[in-house]
Amino acid sequence: MKSFMGGKSVILRLEMDTEKTKFGEVAAFIGQRGGDIVAIDVIQTSKNITVRDLTITVSESGQIEKIIESIPQLPGVKLVNISDRTFLLHLGGKISVSPKTPIQNRDDLSRVYTPDVARVCLAIKEDQKKAYSLTIKRNTVAVVSDGSAVLGLGNIGPYAAMPVMEGKAMLFKQFADVDAFPICLDTQDTEEIIRSIKAIAPGFGGINLEDISSPRCFEIEERLRHELDIPVFHDDQHGTAVVLYAGLISALKVVNKSIGNVRVVVCGIGAAGIACSKILMAAGVKEIVGVDREGILTADREYENPMWNWYASRTNPGRKSGTLQEAMVGADVFIGLSAGGILKREDVASMASDPIVFAMANPTPEIMPQEVEDIVGVMATGRSDFPNQINNVLCFPGIFRAALDCRATEINEEMKLAAAEAIADSISDEERDRFYIIPSPFNTKVVKKMRDAVIKAALATNVARRVPREYR
Ligand SMILES: NC(=O)c1ccc[n+]([C@@H]2O[C@H](COP(=O)([O-])OP(=O)(O)OC[C@H]3O[C@@H](n4cnc5c(N)ncnc54)[C@H](O)[C@@H]3O)[C@@H](O)[C@H]2O)c1
Ligand SMILES: O=C(O)C[C@H](O)C(=O)O
Ligand SMILES: [Mg+2]
Query: Judging by DSSP bridges, how do beta strands 263-267 and 333-336 pair with one another?
Result: parallel
Query: Best mutation site among 148, 217, 236 for ligand 1, i.e. most ligand atoms within 8 A of its Cβ?
Result: 236
Query: Best mutation site among 303, 337, 360 for ligand 1, i.e. most ligand atoms within 8 A of its Cβ?
Result: 337
Spatial separation of the C-alpha atoms in residues 124 and 400, rounded to whole Å? 24
CA of 154 to the centre of ligand 1 (A): 9
444 to 177, 248, 416: CA distances (angstroms): 12, 21, 19
pLDDT at 1: 45
399 to 61, 77, 466: CA distances (angstroms): 35, 53, 16
CA of 211 to the centre of ligand 3 (A): 4
Q: Is 362 in the pocket of ligand 2 (CB under 6 A)?
A: yes
Q: What is the set of active-site residues?
A: 113, 168
Q: How confident is the model over 390-446, as pLDDT tens digits?
A: 999 999 999 999 999 999 999 999 999 999 999 999 999 999 999 999 999 999 999
CA of 139 to the centre of ligand 3 (A): 22
Query: Which ligand 1 atom minimizes the distance to the CA of 363?
Result: 43
Query: Judging by DSSP bridges, how do beta strands 49-57 and 77-83 pair with one another?
Result: unpaired
Q: Is 307 in the pocket of ligand 1 (CB under 6 A)?
A: no
Contact 356/332 with Cβ under 8 angstroms? yes
Per-residue pLDDT at 288 exceeds 80: yes
Q: How confident is the model over 241-273, as pLDDT tens digits?
A: 999 999 999 999 999 999 999 999 999 999 999
**Residue 1, C-beta contacts closer than 8 angstroms, at least 6 positions apart:** 65, 68, 69
Q: How confident is the model over 64-93, as pLDDT tens digits?
A: 999 999 999 999 999 999 998 888 899 999
CA atoms within 13 A on the CB side of 26: 28
CA of 134 to the centre of ligand 2 (A): 33
Per-residue pLDDT at 382 exceeds 70: yes
Average pLDDT over residues 287-315: 96
Average pLDDT over residues 358-372: 97
Question: Which residue's CA is the closest to the ligand 1 atom numbered 22?
Answer: 270
Q: How confident is the model over 88-145, as pLDDT tens digits?
A: 899 999 999 999 999 999 999 999 999 999 999 999 999 999 999 999 999 999 999 9
Q: How confident is the model over 202-222, as pLDDT tens digits?
A: 999 999 999 999 999 999 999
Question: Which residue's CA is the closest to the ligand 2 atom numbered 6?
Answer: 236
Spatial separation of the C-alpha atoms in residues 266 and 274, rounded to whole Å? 9
pLDDT at 6: 63
Instruction: Look up the pTM and report it.
Output: 0.92
Q: Is 149 in the pocket of ligand 1 (CB under 6 A)?
A: yes
Q: Is 190 in the pocket of ligand 2 (CB under 6 A)?
A: no
**What number is the ipTM of this complex?**
0.99
Query: Which ligand 1 atom minimizes the distance to the CA of 269?
Result: 39
Spatial separation of the C-alpha atoms in residues 53 and 10, rounded to whole Å? 10
Q: Is 391 in the pocket of ligand 2 (CB under 6 A)?
A: yes
